[in-house]
């Protein structure tokens, strides 16, 4: 370990998606994220049934019996498994799981495992609680009223203020999350904007859906939204 300082985006990238990161490390257990927290995907088969109905409706609108379903941030394939079980007869679905972790053993062989969404999707791209896990920079206002990038020390997670926020990041803050009072914080959402644009751009015909936490622009929390949990 060193006293290297880096931005929040880089630190979060390593913590979540590095070789020993939360979403990739085999030390987290074969059950993956579901062993640590639940989303709607894990809580009830009703969620998968709702996605199956949405997919069926898209197929009807597109006048096709052959359709693609892409689950972005698929975990261990729980949602796709549930949707396949809930589909009506006669609808042929090609399911893709987009995930950084390795394919889990015993997964339905119909599910195609990949690191990026396929291009030219005709059907549904579904991202459940994915965008909140796209790492972003954190900014904080200093004593002089200047928004600065927050840096994280590798060795112990301590923070300090770095360079002033500038360029496209500053423009994003001004539009979407303006800061003024010393101590106020924001997450600069440009990487999430770009990630969603790339994912949604893979849909040639059909629908792209993101399900996630949100708040409106005029009610941003003054100290940001990042929250950590230990032991569930």
- Per-residue pLDDT reduced to its tens digit, 85-112: 999 999 999 999 999 888 999 999 999 9
Q: How confident is the model at residue 3 (pLDDT cuts 50, 70, 90)?
A: confident
The position carrying tokens 């630190």 is 11
The position carrying tokens 């640590």 is 36
What CATH number is attached to the domain comprising 125?
3.40.50.150
212 within domain boundaries:
yes
71/180 same-domain check: no
Domain hosting residue 160, numbered range: 5-19+139-186
91 within domain boundaries:
yes
Q: How confident is the model at residue 166 (pLDDT cuts 50, 70, 90)?
A: very high
Q: How confident is the model at residue 1 (pLDDT cuts 50, 70, 90)?
A: very low
Note if the pTM is more than 0.95: no
Q: Any idea what DSSP says for residue 77? A: T
124/68 same-domain check: yes
Read off the pLDDT of each residue in 208-214 and give the average, rounded to a whole number.
93
115/209 same-domain check: yes
Confirm if 173 and 165 have CB atoms less than 8 A apart.
Answer: yes
68/154 same-domain check: no
Residue 110's φ and ψ, nearest 5 degrees, are -70, -20
Tokens in use for 46?
């009703």
123/167 same-domain check: no
**Total domains present in the chain:** 2
Q: What is the pLDDT of residue 57?
A: 97
The shares of helix, strand and coil residues in the chain, as percent rounded to the nearest 5, are 30, 25, 40
163/143 same-domain check: yes
Q: Is residue 125 predicted with pLDDT exceeding 70? A: yes
Helix axis angle, 78-86 to 45-62, nearest 10°: 60
């Amino acid at each position: 370990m060193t006293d290297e300082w880096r931005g929040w985006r880089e630190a979060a990238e390593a913590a979540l998606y590095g070789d020993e990161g939360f979403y990739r490390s085999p030390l987290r257990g074969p059950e993956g994220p579901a062993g640590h927290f639940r989303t709607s995907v894990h809580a009830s088969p009703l969620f998968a049934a709702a996605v199956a109905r949405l997919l069926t409706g898209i197929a009807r609108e597109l006048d096709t019996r052959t359709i693609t379903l892409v689950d972005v941030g698929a975990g261990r394939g729980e949602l796709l498994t549930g949707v396949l079980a809930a589909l009506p007869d006669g609808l042929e679905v090609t399911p893709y799981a987009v995930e950084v972790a390795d394919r889990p053993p015993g997964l339905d062989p119909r599910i195609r495992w990949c690191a990026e969404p396929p291009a030219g999707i005709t059907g549904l791209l579904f991202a459940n609680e994915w965008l909140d896990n796209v790492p972003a920079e954190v900014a904080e206002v200093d004593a002089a009223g200047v928004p600065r990038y927050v840096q994280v020390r590798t060795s112990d997670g301590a923070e300090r203020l770095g360079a002033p926020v500038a360029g496209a990041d500053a423009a994003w803050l001004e539009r979407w999350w303006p800061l003024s009072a010393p101590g106020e914080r924001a997450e600069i959402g440009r990487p999430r904007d770009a990630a969603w644009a790339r994912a949604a751009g893979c849909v040639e015909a059909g629908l792209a859906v993101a399900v996630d936490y949100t708040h409106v622009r005029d009610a941003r929390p003054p100290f940001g939204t990042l929250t950590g949990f230990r032991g569930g």
